[in-house]
Amino acid sequence: MVIAGVRTVSRKLLLLPPRGSGCYDPVPDARDSLDAGGSRVALVAMVIAATGPARTGRAASGAFAASAGHSGRMRSSLTPLGPPVSRDRIITSFPKWYTPEACLQLKEHFHGQVSTTCQRRNTGTVGLRLSKVVVVGDLYVGKTSLIHRFCKNVFDRHYKATIGVDFEIERFEIAGIPYSLQIWDTAGQEKFKCIASAYYRGAQVIITAFDLTDVQTLGHTRQWLEDALRENEPGSCFVFLVGTKKDLLSGAACEQAEVEAVRLANEMQAEYWSVSAKTGENVKAFFSRVAALAFEQSVLQDLERRSGARLQVGDGDLIRMEGSPPETQESTTSSSLGCC
């Protein structure tokens, strides 16, 4: 049975887009570019059933799980009785923003009803759920490096282009409740855009990355965001704008680059962060913030679904979801619940 086509290229992976996505034949292009670019082609597996996921790497088994819906890793992520999450994935207080000038929420605590619900262990199916995070941006800006620094605590200075998409699942414990992020790494190269964009759908968080040392990549983030939003319901995604390679800039140069980035983040209704995958600066704090925002939204959505009633916004809460009209942006639950 043909399920999907998978090629792994070193660590990076190509998945064929889902049927009906309108771009179902990327293979010759991918093969040509790999050969021409000198990338290492480790495996071509057009028929997963023939090779089996066990013969592929960790990323490939994750990809198989995405298409076939099972893998040991994913199962353990979703099982409340799985192994405990590592200490640095335990979030007890609401992680802070990077700069108050471009942030999605200014508050410092979980929404009152979220805290109560978590204390009572009454979060419904939230503890079994995982939120989809999609990372987009130009080639070479450091998307893979950012994800690998967070998920594997490694940094590779050698560039290997992402072919198509890959993903990692990271488990957290937030306010005592298990929670997982499924973090999708997409290819920045134009020729793979069609493949990658087929995986934008269903994102709860969109991370648009740019290189702090290359202003052109900042200019392109708007287009990346538009493309990702097109595949999702209006008002349903948290948006982050992330400047990478902070270690390559002096403090003053970084501040200068951030001025324009913060301005753009506000236009995009995004939260802004500067990070370095090389040194690890801000990487953990950033993903903790992403996880907490996604988690809180999931709990609130679950509560609303169950009660059918609108929750009141707490004092000092400010949340912005892309696409929500300005007058609704100060409402925590109504906008975060996507019901405006």
Provide the binding-site residues for ligand GTP, judged by CB under 6 A: 139-145, 156-157, 159, 161-162, 187-189, 244-245, 247-248, 276-278
Q: Which amino acid is at 290?
A: V
Closer CB to ligand GTP, residue 24 or residue 140? 140
- Rounded to the nearest angstrom, the gap between the alpha carbon of residue 340 and the centroid of all alpha carbons in its chain is 24
- With contact defined as beta carbons under 8 Å apart, do 147 and 185 qualify? yes
- With contact defined as beta carbons under 8 Å apart, do 304 and 123 qualify? no
We find the least distance from the C-beta atom of residue 112 to ligand GTP, in angstroms, to be: 37
We find the least distance from the C-beta atom of residue 52 to ligand GTP, in angstroms, to be: 27
- Rounded to the nearest angstrom, the gap between the alpha carbon of residue 10 and the centroid of all alpha carbons in its chain is 22
At CB < 8 A and 24+ separation, what contacts does 29-32 make?
A: 29/191, 30/163, 30/164, 30/191, 30/192, 30/195
Q: What's the CA gap between 97 and 112, in Å, rounded?
A: 19
We find the least distance from the C-beta atom of residue 176 to ligand GTP, in angstroms, to be: 33
User: Using CB atoms, what's the residue nearest to ligand GTP?
Assistant: 188
Closer CB to ligand GTP, residue 244 or residue 329? 244
Closer CB to ligand GTP, residue 15 or residue 175? 15
Closer CB to ligand GTP, residue 111 or residue 245? 245
We find the least distance from the C-beta atom of residue 74 to ligand GTP, in angstroms, to be: 23
We find the least distance from the C-beta atom of residue 161 to ligand GTP, in angstroms, to be: 4
Measured CA to CA in angstroms, residue 154 lies from 149, 212, 248, 280, 283 at distances of: 5, 20, 18, 9, 12
* Backbone phi and psi for residue 148, each to the nearest 5 degrees, phi listed first: -70, -35
We find the least distance from the C-beta atom of residue 159 to ligand GTP, in angstroms, to be: 4
We find the least distance from the C-beta atom of residue 30 to ligand GTP, in angstroms, to be: 13
We find the least distance from the C-beta atom of residue 220 to ligand GTP, in angstroms, to be: 12
In DSSP terms, 90 is beta-bridged to: 173
Closer CB to ligand GTP, residue 110 or residue 240? 240
We find the least distance from the C-beta atom of residue 59 to ligand GTP, in angstroms, to be: 13
Alpha helices by DSSP H, the chain: 27-37, 48-51, 58-68, 72-78, 112-119, 143-152, 193-197, 215-219, 221-230, 251-267, 283-307, 332-336
Closer CB to ligand GTP, residue 185 or residue 271? 185
Q: Which of 198, 140, 144, 167 is nearest to 17 (CA)?
A: 198
Query: Other CB atoms closer than 10 Å to residue 104's CB: what's the count?
Result: 23
In DSSP terms, 273 is beta-bridged to: 242
* Conformation bin of residue 121: beta by default, left when phi > 0, alpha when psi is -120 to 50: left
Closer CB to ligand GTP, residue 129 or residue 149? 149
